[in-house]
Amino acid sequence: MATVIWVAAYVWIGGIACAFAAPGSCDIALPWTLRGDELVALVVLPASLVLGLVGAGFFTARRPS
């Protein structure tokens, strides 16, 4: 579910960026082609947030006794 939300948000942000781009120059960059601040904001932070939540859920899950 988190992956679907991330993909939708990534495309939405790309669409907003296209709204402010010059006509004919709108390309949504693929995640593995990003560099610098864009990579951190659009790939690294969401991935670390999802992995952190999954890890917290894994470690706090109730185990059958």
Please, is 5 exposed, middle or buried when counting C-beta atoms within 10 Å of its C-beta (0-12, 13-18, 19+)?
A: exposed
pLDDT at 1 over 80: no
CB atoms within 10 A of CB 55: 10
Note the pLDDT of residue 65: 66
Which residue carries 């601040």 as its tokens?
37
Spatial neighbors of 53 by CB under 8 A, at least 6 apart, are 2
pLDDT digits (tens, 9 = 90+) for 2-55: 778 888 888 888 888 888 878 877 777 888 888 898 889 888 898 898 888 888
Domains of the chain by residue range: 2-60
In this predicted structure, what is the pLDDT of residue 46? 86
Contact between 50 and 62 under an 8 Å Cβ cutoff? The reply is no
